[in-house]
Amino acid sequence: MAGEKDEPGGPPPLWLMTEEHFAFLAIKKTDDPLVSPPFAIGSEEYVRQVVDRWQNGEEPKEESDQVEEPELKLDDSQESTLSSALTKAVEFSASQSHLIAVTTAAPTIFNYVHVRSNVLDPIVKNCAPIIDDGTVSVYGMDQNQHEDFDKARKALLDLRLGIAALPNATLMSLVASFDALVTDLVARMLRLDKSWMERSDRKLSFDKLAQAISIDDLITNAIREELYQFSRGSHDEQAKFIESNFGIAIRSHWRRWPDYIEVFERRNLIAHGETNFNSRYVSICEGAGHKGSKKLLGQNIEIRPNYLQQALDILTEFAILLPFAVWRKISTEQEEKAFSHLNEAAYTLITNGRYTVAERVLEFALTLTKVCVPVVLIQRLTINSASALRHAGQIDQANAVLDGVDWSASSDLFQICMQAVRGNGAEVAKLLPRFANSSELNAPTFKQWPCFSFIRDDESVKIAFLETFGVPLSVPASQTPSSETREKDHSESDKSTVH
């Protein structure tokens, strides 16, 4: 249904009856069919601003084909600094996961496109088949066509060589991105907790003191020097630096430490042009406690997609647990916030399909002793831990995690989430009517939360969902909910209580 047009000079009539819409998508038109058009998605105010820029001839940022909402500026408080570090770790996981996916799919996609477009299609298009019996087609080529075909075939061989190098290049990129992330994290920690300066034996020359504008300038230069030395040390030396300056035990307490070191040693082999696992690799890995590296001695180095995924999980776990541990160390009065932000990070990992690393960081948090956090937060962590395990196919382990908590006095929200993770659709259907007018759980959150993905196909749940919220659990693309239903779905849809 269209409304009246805006007066000339007013806002562009791109959207009318705003209450009918949950969000907006703007696509900038392009004349090039081979170029993905820029687009923006978000609130009406945000999309209007983007459209105004486009209509005024301003181009989107070159580094992205998607215009994103501006990032909020964080203050220098402990909470914002460390929660931002957790956010960056999760973003690192997401971006590198996509890179690994591209590396995995590239051989099939690029080979297919090149063979079809450059090798076969020119012959099929310009030559008549000599034989075409429905099973096989044979084409005759003249000398020029054969020469063109031969050039395309050689280009295909070069392409395959390039594609074969992608896994090694991806591991190099993965480690480089991780190193930048950790260096940034250490910089944040050095600025946040300056007690390391009292223990440092680094000396300042009179020249530097004379050139300094202020104490803050001296501190900034000192941190810059520490980061310079930190970034050039081995990852074992970096761990020692963190342990000595922030009082966090990594090497002796983190279960994945041997695998962590192995990732960097494998990367070092590739960086130095090695094609086989050598004795240096074995020596360093065994020194870190890695098992199985000796069996690889002399074998060809091959980077498989599964290895890249495992390496990403290990590096992400480190990047999340480090700021979490620092937070608990220097902000003991904010322990509840530390656990809450860790839970948010784990929830995002689950929604991104990084189930293994989500379960690991949650397991770490749940096995800590002498913590002072509310019971509801422990229940939230437990739900997400079990959800991650079940998403990873470990159903028995997921149920065991749930069995470790007494749910008898928990709220309806935790009851329905717990039953959903157990895959108990009948119980979820019984509990759903209690949320008919709830701000804790509504139609959008039920559709979005990963813990409910295990029972959304249950017929009893679909019926209860429709009766409770007035909309079907799954809506055909040709159907659109009424404005009244949308307004109901809008309320609190992005304020997730159980993440």
Residue in the structure block whose two tokens are 């008898």: 408
Residue in the structure block whose two tokens are 């000079």: 9
Q: From 300, 423, 297, 421, select the one nearest 359 (Cα to Cα).
A: 421
CB atoms within 10 A of CB 223: 20
Going from the C-alpha of 442 to that of each of 150, 449, 496, the distances in angstroms are 61, 11, 10
44 contacts: CB under 8 Å, gap ≥ 6: 15, 18, 21, 24
Reported pTM: 0.77
Residue 247 main-chain phi, psi, to 5 deg:
65, 35
8 Å CB contact between 380 and 346: no
299, HSE (Cβ side, Cα atoms, 13 Å): 11
- Residue-by-residue pLDDT tens, the chain, 499 positions: 334 444 444 444 444 444 556 677 787 877 766 566 777 777 777 878 888 888 887 764 443 444 444 443 334 566 777 888 999 999 999 999 999 999 998 888 877 887 778 878 887 888 878 787 778 888 788 888 788 878 888 888 888 888 888 999 999 999 999 999 999 988 888 887 666 665 565 655 556 655 656 666 666 777 788 888 888 999 999 999 999 888 888 988 899 999 999 999 999 999 999 999 999 999 999 999 999 999 999 999 999 999 999 999 999 999 999 999 988 888 777 889 999 999 999 999 999 999 999 999 999 999 998 888 999 999 999 999 999 999 999 999 999 999 999 999 999 999 999 999 999 999 999 999 999 988 899 999 999 999 999 999 999 999 999 999 999 997 444 443 333 333 333 333 333 334 4
User: What is the distance between the alpha carbons of residues 323 and 473, in angstroms, rounded to a whole number?
Assistant: 39
Size of the chain in residues:
499
SS3 of residue 259 by DSSP? helix
List alpha helices for 68-165, DSSP H.
78-114, 121-126, 143-164
